Structure 1
Amino acid sequence: MSFIVNFTTRWADFDANVHMRHTAYNDYCAEARLRFFNKFGITIHDFTREKVGPILFEENTRFLKEIHMGEDISVNLKITGLSSKGERWKIQHEVFNGAGKLSAIVTVYGAWLDLVQRKLTIPPSKFQQIFTDAEKTHDFTEIVLKSEK
């Protein structure tokens, strides 16, 4: 299933060079992830009720083309890696400028955190399923955990 979000950028997203500031790309990708969960029936209330939440270990941004002040953008979400029980995941976002040109690629590596025990955990099946059903990148690979080797 394909997922893309269109955003109207804000004045605060831009820097003195009149292009989008570097951290704004990551902010829009984080918003896209939350909207992804919402679209498939997982809200902040579900995170609270299940006592589980997503955490990031790594976030990498590759800048390809400027986004200028006043341009609207779109951000997609694809899964590049997933462990067998869904406890670890890698997500790729592509950020497109107003003309539809690829402007940045943001990759995040994360896991699910038990919010009570404060340790990594296997997510509820509802949470696992949306990543299993999500669009995958052409180079998708299974994440093999050390305990599985």
Structure 2
Amino acid sequence: MYLKDFEIRWSDVDANRHLANSAYLNFMSQTRMAFLMELGFDYKTMEEQGIGPVVFYEHVYYFKEVFPGKPVRVSMEVMGMSENGKFFEFHHNFYDYKGKNVAHCEMMGAWVNLKTRALIGLNDDFLNAFNKVEKPEGFRVLTKEDTRKFAKVPKDLV
């Protein structure tokens, strides 16, 4: 499990004076990018490969309010990946300064070729880096169908 600590800034708080939902998304995004950079997926490397990550969805479950003045810790685990690395599923947990789990997020995404805008699998170097990451309980091999489980097409459009 990868962990990253954040100080809650004034700009992270909403009108209710607790951590804003947009701040949760920003903290998760920063955690993912820090994790990827440690794996060797830094901005330069992704630019050289012409790839970037794209988010399909982020589903956040909020358990308890978080307020400024104390840090928050965000975890990240790779919960799923397709065999070619094209699709990925990450889970995040938020912990307050006492270690209490205050939120959970399930997110799914893919890699996109930045020139063609088409989804793309990972090259062998990147795939090998991901394959070395610890697989938590519940890890699964993803297929394209897993990315479409929420897609609904109205009957009049078919």
TM-score (norm 2): 0.85
Q: Identity over the aligned pairs, expressed in percent?
A: 27
**Alpha-carbon distance, 1:22 to partner:** 1.1
Corresponding residue for residue 153 of structure 2: none
Contact 1:78 1:93 in 2 (8 A): yes
Structure-1 residue corresponding to 2:156: none
Tell me the residue number matched to 1:95. Answer: 94
User: Quick one: higher RCO (CA 8 Å, sep 6+), 1 or 2?
Assistant: 1
How many residue pairs get aligned? The number is 145
Q: For structure 2, which runs of at least 5 residues remain unmatched after alignment?
A: 146-158
Cα pair 1:53 1:114 within 8 Å, conserved? yes
Distance (whole Å) between structure 2 residues aligned to residue 123 and residue 17 of structure 1: 42
Q: Which runs of 4+ in 1 moved over 6 A?
A: none
Where do residues 61-72 of structure 1 align in structure 2 (5 Å cutoff)? 61-72=60-71
Supply the distance in 2 between the matched residues of 1:33 and 1:14 (Cα, whole angstroms): 21
- Give deviations 1:51-92, integer Å, cap 9, x for gaps: 011101111111011111212011111011111111101000
1:78-136 per-position Cα deviation (integer Å, ceiling 9, x unaligned): 01111111110100011111111111111111001011111011112232233322233
Q: CA RMSD in A?
A: 1.4
- 1:1-40: CA deviation from partner (whole Å, max 9, x where unpaired): x311111111111122221011111110000011001112
C-alpha deviation, 1:44, in angstroms:
0.4
Greater Rg by CA: 2
Q: When you count strand as a share of all residues, which structure comes out higher?
A: 1
What is the match of residue 29 of structure 1?
A: 28
2:59 alignment partner, SS class: strand
* Residue 86 (1) aligns with residue 80 (2): no
Please, which runs of 5 or more residues in structure 1 have no aligned partner?
none
Structure 1 residue 7 and structure 2 residue 1: aligned?
no
